[in-house]
A = this chain, B = another copy of it.
Amino acid sequence: MTKSDWLSELRAEAPRLGRASTAGRVADVLRTRITEGSLAPGTRLSEEDIGAALGVSRNTLREAFRLLGHERLLVHEFNRGVFVRKLTVEDVRDLYELRRILECGAVRRGAERHAGTATAERWPALLDAVRAAVEEGEAAAERGRWLDVGTANMHFHQAVSALAQSPRVDEAMGHLLAELRLVFHVMAAPQAFHESYLADNRAILELLLAEDFEGAEKAIADYLDAAEAQLVEAYSAAGQVSA
């Protein structure tokens, strides 16, 4: 997609900027573009061009850039401008390292608190969210909506990390998954990639329902190892540099 292509598409979104904080809404628009993949990693975001296309001032736009920079979707190079984040193979490995700690830790802590009495009543709702994500993925696969399968997979892992019942864990996981979307676009065959994990998700859900938390933790760790290996391989094949 050429520069003028997505600039003109961006202009079409300008009318939608009518509510609440301008910077926040600009960030919403750009975030969607980035996670959907229509703004390719490495693209430079000119303050002037985008400000003009969206009809906002540079000051406001810079605030939006800061927001997305904190979410690691953009990188800000001093005196050079902002660019759509380009993840390296090391980033992919690190992302999965953090996922291992967060997701496995969430299951473990959730189980510990479930065993206690204090927050027992919230547990069924948390598992329902996991189940809903599993079924969402299966339904999407049946209808051949592979993009939705990927989204459902995100929901599944967000729901797993929610077992920790910690707002900060939830937020960290949200940012992590948003960053991972940047990676998924380099996959040549996203359908096969996401589809292969539907059964895993279902199995993890069953382990959680059976209260076999050690088994669930192990299953998640195995899934993460497999997914990481697959992504790293695809990444190398796509000729991504490591620096």
A contacts, CB < 8 Å to B: 20-21, 59, 62-63, 66-67, 70, 78, 94-95, 97-98, 100-102, 104-106, 108-109, 164-169, 172, 176
Contact = CB atoms under 8 A, between A and B. Distances in A.
Contact of A100 (B62, B109, B165, B172): B109
Report the copy number of this chain in the oligomer: 2
Q: Do most interface residues of chain A lie in helix, strand or loop, or is the interface mixed?
A: helix
Q: Please name the 8 residue pairs, one residue from A and one from B, whose CB atoms are nearest each other, closest first.
A: A101-B105, A70-B70, A97-B166, A66-B66, A105-B105, A98-B168, A94-B166, A94-B168
A165 B109 CA distance: 22
Of A59, A94, A105, A106, most buried by chain B (CB within 10 Å of CB) is: A105
Given A21-B78, A78-B20, A78-B21, A98 B166 contact: yes
Given A97-B165, A100-B109, 11 more contacts: A59-B59, A62-B63, A63-B66, A97-B164, A97-B169, A100-B105, A101-B106, A101-B109, A101-B164, A101-B166, A105-B105
Contacts of A101: 101-102, 105-106, 108-109, 164, 166, 169
Contacts of A70: 66, 70
A222 to B, nearest CB: 13
A101 B113 CA distance: 13
Of A63, A108, A165, A168, most buried by chain B (CB within 10 Å of CB) is: A168
Contacts of A166: 94, 97-98, 101
Contact of A168 (B67, B95, B104, B168): B95
Contact of A94 (B63, B104, B167): B167
Contacts of A105: 100-102, 104-105
Contacts of A109: 97, 100-101
Contacts of A94: 166-168
